[in-house]
Chains A and B, each alone.
Chain A
Amino acid sequence: GIQVEQSPPDLILQEGANSTLRCNFSDSVNNLQWFHQNPWGQLINLFYIPSGTKQNGRLSATTVATERYSLLYISSSQTTDSGVYFCAVLRTNTGNQFYFGTGTSLTVIP
């Protein structure tokens, strides 16, 4: 399978600070998604980004597929950004099986 590593594993920020979360993967992929897991466990879609750069409000993401990494940027963090962020990848020749990283646990303190 594909190995997915996320860093840092834990992050504590003051409200208003910026942060960068990283996702490295071990093989070429056709799909990469970033999720935020809310306190009730649901995975909320942030970005579908197999390559390139996207922005959505205070969040943006960049995937450099040739170098096998993706970055999630959070600017002007808010307490509601707290939670666990997951990167997940898949390769279509293995079907729709996502390989997940172990997540980055973000805590934003007021």
Chain B
Amino acid sequence: KAGVTQTPRYLIKTRGQQVTLSCSPISGHRSVSWYQQTPGQGLQFLFEYFSETQRNKGNFPGRFSGRQFSNSRSEMNVSTLELGDSALYLCASSRGTSFRYLRATEQYFGPGTRLTVT
């Protein structure tokens, strides 16, 4: 079974530009979460999508947005890039459950996208 894939793996952008990152979850997984990792702040939650709906959002400005498609693939977008957005962006995939039958399921991470903003 293929793992979680993220594209691109590396990206260099200039301040003020925007960027779109992509995540393809494990087949059959419906939940996709995004995390930002920086040396100063560690691993921080951005948002989670389940069945094309954003269920949970971390404490990030509105410049960070995302979406999920019907095949569970997800994209996140960062507009008006700032130097502080330089980070490793990780995507996590899990089976997930609806809120009605909410229970924890194991999460699997992709290799990440390393974004550098100059």
Contacts and interface: CB of A to CB of B under 8 A. Distances in A.
A94 interface: yes
Given A94-B56, A97-B33, A42 B109 contact: yes
Interface of B is mostly: strand
A30 B108 CA distance: 16
Q: Size class of B's contact patch?
A: 20 to 34
B112 A96 contact: no
Interface centre among A48, A96, A97 (most CB of B within 10 A): A96
A97 B103 contact: no
Nearest to A94: B56
Interface residues of A, number: 25
Interface of B: 31, 33, 35, 37, 42-43, 45, 48, 50, 55-56, 58, 88, 90, 92, 94, 96, 102-112, 114
